[in-house]
Structure 1
Amino acid sequence: MSSGAIVYVVDDDLGVRKALSFLLVSAGLNVRLYESATAFLREVADPGRCCIVTDVRMPGIDGLEFIRRLNERGLNVPVIVMTGHADIPLAVEAMKAGAIDFLEKPFREDRFLEVVRFALVCDEKSVRRSQELLRTQARLQSLTQRERQVLDCLVAGKANKVIAHELNISIRTVEIHRSNVMAKMEARSLSELIRMALFIEATVGN
């Protein structure tokens, strides 16, 4: 878990904000407090590595609408919603909208910290995945049109002989293109090359 990660606590109750801040700081985590979703959205353009803990019911923008606003801005960060027993259906809706978990009040301190740490780990993995995707996409864009055709054929499980026939080139030319693709994509094996291609396809589509 990144030591620079931040836990944003968004709650209109000052007492709750102070209590959660004390707990999080005591656990060695960085904390920032906001009295409303409106204040957070106004002041935070790039939250960085983080998770957000928010009450599901707040004046103005509630927790569900808060998550929707974050999604609209492309801020794909882990959100934990806090809820009273009567608000569990709303918390479930928040999870459908993208919240990673919800905590029913009153909750134990250890349970709260467990959920927060899990959210921060998920965010760090998401950041690494995004960075990996960008690197892989850049490599993919360095391929020539013919090299991309060869790659697509390899991902489809076609042998060099079949690729040569379909692209109307020699088997030796296929081997050269294949070698170039491996080098440009920085793949150490055919299986790794295929995993890269499938990773991009699964993440962003064709």
Structure 2
Amino acid sequence: MNKTELPAIVWLLDDEPQVVESLQWLLQTVGLETCTINSALELLNLPLDQQPGCLLMDVRMPLASGLDLLQALKKQKILLPSILMSGHADVTMAVRAMKLGAADFFEKPFNDQQLLDSLQAAIASHRLALTKQQLLTKLTQRYAELTEREQQVMLQLICGVQAKKIAANLNISPKTVDVHRHNLMQKMQVNSLAELVHAAMLLGLPLAFSF
């Protein structure tokens, strides 16, 4: 099964057992699976991007704060969204959390429905991010499988260069350009030039050509 189709999981990290228990009960009432994390070290070693989900953690914890963990996750390029909670929140803390990439910030006690809404939005964004990541991985593999000549033709095609001009630029015949175009379109698994351009944009290829 594609990992984006797996059920969502909410990772819980809070050093207060009563808070964790209460959150587990709340999330289970709406059918969300939960997994309790016992330490910052455990969190940083988990496969957090293997299925859609969200991290829900407290700001103030022993050893490493929620803000420290946000920074560490950002450094590891983890896509999983994080929602922070605090019983002693202030504006500065909330602003810093959001600058570090937190999806949301809640002060305890929080409104249950608002938290659930925020979690569902974060999970949806993570599912989309994982989908894009998988697509980019596939496109990168497909592009790498093109021959050097096919890549040369593709780089000009996506910039709107006509077949005759491509042929002149590469010192090959227009018919050979057409063959390369057919082959690269098949390898990239696209059906039109517009789809090829979209794939190129996702790959970060230049859309301006100079020969």
Common fold by TM > 0.5: yes
Residues 46 and 3 of structure 1: CA distance in aligned 2, closer, same or farther (over 3 Å)? closer
Residue 177 of structure 1 and its aligned partner are, at CA, apart by: 0.9
Distance 2:102 2:163 in 1: 46
Distance 2:154 2:147 in 1: 10
Distance 1:51 1:86 in 2: 21
Q: Does residue 1:91 correspond to 2:62, yes or no?
A: no
Which residue of the partner structure matches residue 136 of structure 1? 139
Percent sequence identity over matched residues?
38
3-state DSSP class of the match of 1:188?
coil
Could you tell me whether the CA contact under 8 Å between 1:150 and 1:178 is conserved in 2? yes
Where does structure 1 lack aligned partners over 5 or more consecutive residues? none
- Which residue identity lines up with residue 137 of structure 1 in the other structure? T
Distance 1:35 1:74 in 2: 22
CA offset digits 1:49-104 (Å, max 9, x no partner): 22100112222211111112223334321111113464332222222222122123
Distance 1:141 1:39 in 2: 36
Q: Does residue 1:58 correspond to 2:65, yes or no?
A: no
Q: Does residue 1:152 correspond to 2:155, yes or no?
A: yes
Where does structure 2 lack aligned partners over 5 or more consecutive residues? 206-211
Could you tell me whether the CA contact under 8 Å between 2:79 and 2:130 is conserved in 1? no
- Which residue identity lines up with residue 32 of structure 2 in the other structure? L
Distance 1:86 1:194 in 2: 46
Which residue of the partner structure matches residue 28 of structure 2? 25
Which residue of the partner structure matches residue 45 of structure 1? 46
Could you tell me whether the CA contact under 8 Å between 1:11 and 1:55 is conserved in 2? yes
* Misfit runs of 4+, over 4 Å: none
TM-score normalized with structure 2 length: 0.87
TM-score normalized with structure 1 length: 0.89
Report matched runs for 1:55-204 at 5 Å.
Answer: 55-84=58-87, 86-201=89-204
Per residue, is there more helix in 1 or in 2?
A: 1
3-state DSSP class of the match of 2:204?
helix
**In structure 2, which of residues 13, 16, 22 is the aligned counterpart of residue 13 of structure 1?**
16
Q: How many residues align?
A: 200
3-state DSSP class of the match of 2:190?
coil
Distance 2:135 2:166 in 1: 29
Which residue of the partner structure matches residue 209 of structure 2? none
Over the residues paired in the alignment, what is the CA RMSD in angstroms? 1.9
Residues 201 and 11 of structure 1: CA distance in aligned 2, closer, same or farther (over 3 Å)? same
Distance 1:114 1:75 in 2: 22
Residue 34 of structure 1 and its aligned partner are, at CA, apart by: 2.8
